[in-house]
Homo-oligomer: A and B are copies of this chain.
Amino acid sequence: MDSLARAAGPEAVTAIGNVGDDLEFLGLHVSPDLDTVLYTLAGLLDEERGWGVRDETYNALALARELGAEAWFTLGDRDIGLHLVRTAWLRSGLPLSEAMGRLAEALRVGVRLLPATDDRLRTKIGTADGELDFQEWFVARGHSDNVTGVRYEGAEAAAPAPGVLEAVEAAELVVIAPSNPFVSILPILAVPGIREAVAAKRVAAISPLVGGKAFRGPLAEMLISLGHEASPAGTAEVYGDLVDVLVVAPGDSGPAGAVTCDIDMVAPERREDVGRKLLEALL
């Protein structure tokens, strides 16, 4: 996302983000995926860790825990400041998409950042211990449970957020970020209308695996436990014929028609260059 925005200019990019891992914690509405994108584009992300705000303090949570708050989720002080503002907006009736628009504007983020839906959609993880909330599985239990299935609760009744279908329809290219398909991409595509709109466009997916390892998180294990190969080809299989071209890292082999490109966009200083080469290869 940041790579493309740096290469093409932020106004040329619309980011559509996942809300399946949203949660209520301490009465706050938290949108981890959207916020990671927002903080990245605003230059606020803790890039070392890949989530939360850099140079963060944790004084609110420390006292809250001393007073008996659940300890399993971590929120920094500045992060809490954002959650307080957004939660108040949502309680007053503002849709999530408008709330994200306000936050992006206040943080001078040029990319348009939209949640896939303003409706409630939650990713549920099937395990041997039964179905778990996404964050319960991911954070509270440290994604140590083998995944037997994934379900997007509320997806069938959800509508795309205002602007999502229009942005897809107007796009020259849809790029699927190198995220975990099951927990970050498929919950977006599960909102009725989005998959169809995406399927009508030229779609490139960046492989989330390089040398068999995910940029972040337990994707390799999930691919295997859900019956796929932990490889770019295994990832492409998950998307099926939705994706026209898979972009793989040099040295990795992909399915037929895969494009090889430097996709290591973890370091911020590499992103503009990676973005330019991606656009050259794909447009």
Interface set of A (CB-CB < 8 Å, partner B): 26-28, 53, 56-57, 59-64, 66-69, 76-78, 80-82, 84-85, 87-88, 91, 102-103, 106-107
Contact B28 A66, beta carbon cutoff 8 Å:
no
Complex CA–CA separation, A91 to B28 (angstroms): 12
Complex CA–CA separation, A275 to B66 (angstroms): 30
Residues of B within 8 A of A107 (CB): 66-67
Minimum C-beta distance from A156 to chain B (A): 29
Complex CA–CA separation, A120 to B279 (angstroms): 59
Contact B27 A87, beta carbon cutoff 8 Å:
yes
Residues of B within 8 A of A26 (CB): 84-85, 88
Residues of B within 8 A of A68 (CB): 85, 102, 106
- What residue of chain B has the Cβ atom nearest to residue A61's Cβ? B81
Complex CA–CA separation, A107 to B65 (angstroms): 11
Q: Is the interface of A mostly helix, strand, loop or mixed?
A: helix
Minimum C-beta distance from A257 to chain B (A): 44
Residues of B within 8 A of A87 (CB): 27
Contact B27 A88, beta carbon cutoff 8 Å:
yes
Residues of B within 8 A of A56 (CB): 59
Identify A27's interface contact among B27, B66, B106, CB under 8 A. B27
Contact A81 B57, beta carbon cutoff 8 Å:
no
Identify A60's interface contact among B66, B67, B77, CB under 8 A. B77
Contact A60 B88, beta carbon cutoff 8 Å:
no
- What residue of chain B has the Cβ atom nearest to residue A56's Cβ? B59
22 A-B pairs with CB atoms under 8 Å apart are: A26-B84, A26-B88, A27-B84, A27-B88, A27-B91, A53-B63, A56-B59, A57-B77, A59-B76, A59-B77, A60-B81, A60-B84, A62-B81, A64-B81, A64-B82, A64-B85, A66-B107, A67-B81, A67-B107, A68-B85, A77-B80, A80-B80
